[in-house]
Amino acid sequence: MDRESTIQYSKHVEILGNNLLGILSEALGLKTNHLENMECSKGHRLHCHYYPACPQPELAIGISKHSDIGFLTILLQSQGISALQVLYQGQWIDVHPTPGALVVNIGDLLQLVSNGKFKSVQHRARASHIGPRISVVCFFSGPADASKVYGPIKELISEENPPLYRDVVVGEYFSKFLSTGLDDYRGLEYYQLTVGNCEDGLAKKKELKLMASENEERLRMLKAFDETNAGVKGLVDSGIQKIPEIFVRPLDELAKCESKQQQSAVHVPVIDMGDIRLNRKRIVEQVKIASEEWGFFQVVNHGVPQDVMDGMICGVRSFMELPVEEKRKYYTRDNTRPVRYSSSYDLFKSKTASWRDTLTISFSGPNPTDPTHLPDSCRESSMQYSKHVEILGNILLGVLSEALGLKTNHLENMECSNGHRLHCHYYPACPQPQLAIGTAKHSDAGFLTILLQSQGISALQVLYQGQWIDVHPTPGGLVVNIGDLLQLVSNGKFKSIEHRAITSHVGPRISVACFFSGPVTAAKVYGPIKELITEENPPIYREVSIGEYVAKFLSSALEDYRALDYYKLTV
């Protein structure tokens, strides 16, 4: 394959794709340019497959069964070898290459926007003892804009034909695809509207229509909020007395809060790390107990200077209280940006928007933060705090290694401390704190988290033995918690527990979470540490690649994510 042939084929197949989308629009009873105006043809990519001869084709597969996730696919096949099959009425049907022809198939997104009128069917490619077979797939998957929303076309919806699918955001849609293996993925099942076991067909249609309408209105409100770039602080500055509906927690969650038990008298352990060389044995033992029982503890005399911590809090406050026009240039939902400001990273996936704004600064990855790209208001304070908290993170990982009975540098050698990022949260005062949430309950995805909290407002809570326990800010202290990956590599010895941040009628509260999430190499694999595995203590979790792990995390709303459930071994 040479450069010129690829460019020429791409040009011609793009024209054909637009012609086909025009025909498909008319086939739906719409104007010729309807699907084009929806940007269904925007951008395309070629997947050029080469299938060598296989010595045992009965044991192998060329491409496992799947449906295509985009709008439309155009396939060019080499002649002579029949391998493509489609699943039709429960049977695999061969699609023999036709001289001079191209194969066209409907993708999941076109089934969704056509409200099920067009069908996206499963297909596969078998292996063969002769070869090579070559195919070139052109996918028309729509725009790359993560905030773009697709749902059933309104002109196709009626009382007799209510929407079968909910609206979906492009970012959520592709994250869901990337989080699963090809043969396990069936995108439309995630977005299908269902109404229990409703026997009355008319009632079901009405309920489906209502659900779709509510979903559409919610998406409209989410987009309107996001497009202000002003975040939650912008709402508070506007003088609101009632919080917008997108911030109100579901009724079942609010009911649980009403009937919650009284706060327990137990407290998260506080560990004095002063003079660690003399007191190392005691510190290791205390960290071991806290990590096994709680997964959370506070540290004092940890080596991060008080003025550096105070400066970090002040820097975050200074940035968040800048005029919207100055903050707007940092506002984005692009997770690859090393410096980004937004409100609720999972805004379009979560049941409830979080009552907070966040400035994220990455000190890892292929594009680590260039200091000159940091906001002036917090550049120096962020760099200073980052330097000190990185040192503390390495010390803690050494202590945790020893607490597992390993050499001090074991977790460091596993690259658990490679790179870190700061999530700087700003929680404004909330006029209706009983209805909102600052950060939904979740466990942290990485290895280790170190949290700096502003003094005076207690909002962090951890779920301990079925009760929510307050983690009151300790003067000069930092909160440390075990992440899911550390629970996984410790084979369950250390605990990653759920926590949340509640809202308050006073504020702002500021917190800075430093996440140690390991390397960004997608192929890097983590599993239970071999030295911790015995016949009496077999592995509890399977190995997982960073690529799979991160994709799974990004595919879920924060409150729905529980990584360790996906990787647990069952017998």
- Mean pLDDT over residues 211-236, rounded? 86
pLDDT tens-digit readout, 188-197: 887 888 644 4
Give CA–CA dist 509/461, Å, rounded: 14
Q: Domain 229-567: which CATH class?
A: mainly beta
| 3 state SS of 563 | helix
Q: Which tens digits make up the pLDDT trace of 492-525? A: 999 999 999 999 999 899 999 999 988 877 778 9
Q: What is the structure's pLDDT at 571?
A: 54
CA atoms of 364 and 334, how far apart (whole Å): 16
Tokens of 554: 């990004």
Question: Can you tell me the distance from the alpha carbon of 139 to that of 28, in angstroms, rounded to the nearest whole number?
Answer: 21
Task: Return the DSSP state at 241.
Answer: S
What's the pLDDT at 196?
A: 45
Structure tokens at 347: 């805004």
With CA atoms as reference, report the closest residue to 382 among 309, 436, 320.
309
State the pairing for strand pair 296-300/270-272.
Answer: parallel
Amino acid at 431: P
- 262 pLDDT exceeds 60? no
pLDDT digits (tens, 9 = 90+) for 293-337: 999 999 999 999 999 999 999 999 999 999 999 999 999 988 888
Judge whether residue 473 has pLDDT over 50.
Answer: yes
Query: Quick check: 143 pLDDT over 90?
Result: no
| Residue 65, token pair as written in the block | 């069964």
| pLDDT higher at 368 or 148 | 148
The whole-angstrom separation of Cα 538 and Cα 532 is 9
List the single range of 267-271, 332-336, 453-457 with lowest mean pLDDT.
Answer: 332-336
Look at residue 552 in the predicted model and tell me its pLDDT.
Answer: 72
pLDDT mean over 400-406: 98
Instruction: Find out whether 539 and 493 touch, Cβ atoms under 8 Å.
Output: no
> Which pTM value belongs to this model?
0.69
Residue 560 banded pLDDT, cuts 50, 70, 90? low
Separation of first and last alpha carbons in the chain = 48
Dihedrals phi, psi of 214, to nearest 5 degrees: -65, -40
CA–CA separation, 521 vs 446, rounded Å? 14
**In sequence order, which residues have a C-beta less than 8 Å from that of residue 47 and are 6 or more positions away?**
136, 137, 139
Assigned token pair, 548: 């799979």
More confident site: 326 or 561: 326
d(CA 534, CA 178): 34
User: What whole-number distance in Å separates Cα of residue 541 and Cα of residue 549?
Assistant: 13
Q: What is the DSSP letter of 548?
A: H
DSSP string, 154-199: GGG--SSS--SB--EEHHHHHHHHHTS-GGG--HHHHHB---TT--
Amino acid at 427: Y
Sheet architecture: strand order including 72-77 = 45-51, 133-140, 72-77, 103-106
229-567 and 3-191 share a CATH fold: yes
The one-letter amino acid at 394: N
The DSSP output letter for 152 is S
- The average confidence (pLDDT) of the chain is 89
What is the CATH class of 3-191?
Answer: mainly beta
More confident position, 75 or 205: 75
Q: Which of the four pLDDT bands, split at 50, 70 and 90, describes residue 266?
A: confident
Q: Does the pLDDT at position 367 exceed 80?
A: no
Which sequence spans correspond to the domains of the chain? 3-191, 229-567
pLDDT reported for residue 292: 97
